[in-house]
Amino acid sequence: MAVDEEIQRALSQMTTETKALFTTLQTKYDTLDAAHKALQQQTDALDLNGRDRLVGGNLGGEDLLRKGFEDSSEFARLKELGKGKATLKFETKTLISSIAVGSGTAGVLAPQLVGGIVPVAQRRLFMRDLLSRGGRVSGNSAYFIRETAFTNNASPQGIEGTVKAESAITFDTVSRNVTTLAHWVPAARQLMDDLPALLEYVRRKLLFGLRYREDVEILSGDGSGQHLTGLITSSTAFNTGLLGSAWNKIDMLRRALEQVEIADEIPAGFFVVNPADWADIELTKSSQGEYLIGEPGGQDLGPDSLWGKPVVVTNAITSGTFLCGSSEGAELFDRTDATIEISTEYSDYFVRNLMAILCECREVLCIYRPGSFIRGTFSTSPA
């Protein structure tokens, strides 16, 4: 009997110790599980940030585009009902569907998407950030008053009682219409549920396409129809008389700065050149074969610049031409922000399970000082 009681006490003690051990293990497991979940959240955040970088996300912080869609009651209603329209605002057509990008085969292990979506080559944008931003306009046009001439007759005056010298100033009123830039693509409605990452990419691509066209319009718009009146169109032609008998492309850009200074205009603050011309400039050598811009190897040459002014290298300007200008000589005003609208209420899209994704903005460009922008050509007889 005593032996049985001893065994019973031993078993009871083992049970108590076992329970304590399991309690300790459970606590450690819960701690590790919480740490694992926190690490997974960080990993997911890093993965999302990397994908956003690929498709044009906000690199400076919060993804305003994604947040806009997540917070939109209109988009949530469109997703729930499968019809209607959603509008969100942010500071040859091919149908885009799950079939178009491929999908797994039924009954077969689904393939894994790696690397996100690889975009086509995209031009670097610059003009919107380069110019002064004038805020917003409230109407369909904007105007400003520009001084066209100043006759300065200030001089030492005669004796008392004589008439003082009179100067004169003339003005002109310049009006510019607000221009709408827009484009759209058709897409399968299932994208909202089946391929959210692709839908996100499409939205970003539409925003990029809008800025791409805006870039061209700001620089080269001819002012006809609904086109902006661009900087090159409004600029002053380069004075070839400033060139000597021997010159190169670097000399021409410096003479363009001189032309602005001679005219007492706002000093030019940047150059815009084509990649082919910038390559010629960087490859310019002295009679001893030394590169004038700097040695190409063994050091970081820093941002492109000449004469202390940044150089914007872009295909938006035609090869063989250049623009020298001032960021203070023009302002870009927004009538509306870039807007994305998604709707099934177009043609027969509702019965075909399709939706139209539209992206547009409205803006006007005011060029105050045409004389502070100089355009020219890199030719043997520049004009």
**Does residue 287 fall inside a structural domain?**
yes
pLDDT band at 49 (very low <50, low <70, confident <90, very high): very low
Higher pLDDT, 244 or 34: 244
Helices (H), the chain: 2-55, 64-71, 73-81, 98-101, 127-130, 191-194, 196-220, 231-234, 249-262, 275-282
pLDDT at residue 218 in the model: 92
pLDDT band at 202 (very low <50, low <70, confident <90, very high): confident
User: Residue 353 pLDDT more than 80?
Assistant: yes
**Does residue 153 fall inside a structural domain?**
no
Provide the CATH number for the domain around residue 197: 3.30.2400.10
Higher pLDDT, 78 or 351: 351
Sheet holding 374-377, edge to edge: 236-237, 374-377, 321-325, 270-273, 309-313, 305-306
* Distances in whole angstroms, Cα of residue 25 to Cα of each of 20, 31, 113: 9, 10, 37
Of 35-44, 222-231, 240-249, 316-325, minimum mean pLDDT range: 35-44
Higher pLDDT, 195 or 210: 210
Give the chain's mean pLDDT.
77
Residues 6+ apart with CB under 8 A from 212: 122, 123, 125
Please give the DSSP secondary-structure letter assigned to residue 222.
B
User: Residue 45 pLDDT more than 50?
Assistant: no
Q: Which residues of 258-287 are buried (b: 16+ CB within 10 A; e: fewer)?
A: ebbeeeebbebbbbbbbeebbebbbeeeee
Q: Which domain holds residue 343?
A: 127-133+173-377
pLDDT at residue 140 in the model: 85
Of 145-149, 181-185, 210-214, 324-328, minimum mean pLDDT range: 145-149
**Does residue 352 fall inside a structural domain?**
yes
Higher pLDDT, 1 or 14: 14
**Does residue 267 fall inside a structural domain?**
yes
pLDDT band at 51 (very low <50, low <70, confident <90, very high): very low
**Does residue 83 fall inside a structural domain?**
no
User: How many of the other CB atoms lie within 10 Å of CB of 358?
Assistant: 17
**Does residue 45 fall inside a structural domain?**
no
Please count the structural domains in the chain.
Answer: 1
- The predicted model scores a pTM of 0.66
User: Residue 172 pLDDT more than 70?
Assistant: yes
pLDDT at residue 272 in the model: 93
Higher pLDDT, 88 or 286: 286
Tokens of 39: 């690490």
pLDDT at residue 262 in the model: 92
pLDDT at residue 61 in the model: 44
Average pLDDT score over residue span 334-357: 87
Give the CA radius of gyration of the chain: 32
pLDDT band at 83 (very low <50, low <70, confident <90, very high): low
**Does residue 75 fall inside a structural domain?**
no
**Does residue 355 fall inside a structural domain?**
yes
User: Residue 3 pLDDT more than 50?
Assistant: yes
User: Residue 280 pLDDT more than 80?
Assistant: yes
What are the tens digits of pLDDT across the range 96-110? 655 555 555 555 555
Question: What whole-number percentage of the chain has pLDDT above 70?
Answer: 70
